[in-house]
């Protein structure tokens, strides 16, 4: 197996990318707007740039389709359509996909290892976020983890609130984690870990936090 980039390095790069996106957007808007006003693609590009700066970086793809990711991760590359049907996964894209970096012999030998979903401006629990957590779980093939080269998926998100919000981030974030955990717990061969760099304040505006929720296969 390829000497793939360390998971901790990837997570740190994701957080660094979101932080750089936040600083850049704040500068662009003359310190007047939260990052939540920016398009999600801005976060994705900044994250991809930070991952590219890691020593021994993976191959990085933006908006790879579900079918392409499955074709490049399942042992049987031709089984991706059956896998999608069997697991109730619709065609779509993931914001960032990380593949093993090596000298390719053809156009059909890529190996996908990580999927990353990026969400901006999450302030409350919504069905689309829970559905995305479940989609990541299904992509990892939790019933037969050795059947897929995907190691883990990351739900990366930025959250902010104005100072006059009734429920602060220190109350909201635990509710996010609890709701996400309830989805992952349905898949016995998966586990999850939340990470952030603390809740920060922007003078005169409000509070914000950068977060990653990483879903990983358990190993027997």
What separation in angstroms does the CA of 210 have from each of 103, 133, 188?
Answer: 35, 17, 28
Q: In the chain, how many domains are there? A: 1
- State the CB neighbour count (10 A cutoff) for residue 177: 15
Q: Are 205 and 8 in contact (CB under 8 A)?
A: no
Higher-pLDDT residue of 147 and 216 is 216
| Percent of the chain residues topping a pLDDT of 70 | 98
Encode pLDDT of 38-76 as tens digits: 999 999 999 999 999 999 899 999 999 999 999 999 999
For residue 20, tell me if it sits in a domain: yes
With bands split at pLDDT 50, 70 and 90, how would you rate the model's confidence at 1?
very low
Could you tell me the residue range of the domain that residue 89 belongs to?
Answer: 7-217
Angle in degrees, CA 103, 109, 115, rounded to 5: 100
For residue 132, tell me if it sits in a domain: yes
pLDDT reported for residue 21:
96
For residue 78, tell me if it sits in a domain: yes
Encode pLDDT of 69-125 as tens digits: 999 999 999 999 999 999 999 999 999 999 999 988 887 889 999 999 999 999 999
For residue 1, tell me if it sits in a domain: no
pLDDT reported for residue 219:
65
């Amino acid at each position: 197996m390829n000497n793939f980039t360390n998971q901790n390095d990837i997570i740190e790069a994701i957080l660094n990318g979101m932080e750089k996106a936040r600083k850049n957007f704040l500068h662009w808007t003359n310190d007047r707007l939260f990052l939540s006003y920016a398009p999600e693609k801005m976060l994705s590009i900044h994250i991809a740039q930070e991952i590219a700066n890691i020593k021994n970086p993976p191959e990085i793809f933006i908006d790879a389709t579900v079918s392409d990711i499955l074709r490049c991760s399942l042992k049987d590359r031709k089984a991706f359509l059956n896998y999608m049907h069997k697991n109730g996964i619709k065609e779509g894209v993931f914001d960032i996909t990380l593949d093993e970096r090596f000298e390719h012999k053809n156009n059909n030998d890529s190996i996908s290892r990580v999927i990353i979903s990026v969400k901006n401006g999450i302030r409350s629990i919504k069905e689309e976020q829970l559905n995305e957590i479940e989609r990541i779980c299904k992509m990892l093939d939790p019933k037969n983890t050795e059947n897929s080269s995907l190691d883990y998926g990351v739900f990366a998100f930025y959250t902010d609130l104005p100072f006059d919000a009734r429920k602060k981030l220190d109350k909201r974030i635990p509710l996010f984690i609890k709701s996400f955990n309830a989805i992952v717990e349905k898949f016995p061969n998966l586990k999850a870990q939340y990470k952030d760099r603390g809740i920060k304040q922007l003078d005169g505006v409000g509070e914000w936090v950068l977060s990653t929720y990483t879903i990983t296969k358990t190993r027997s």
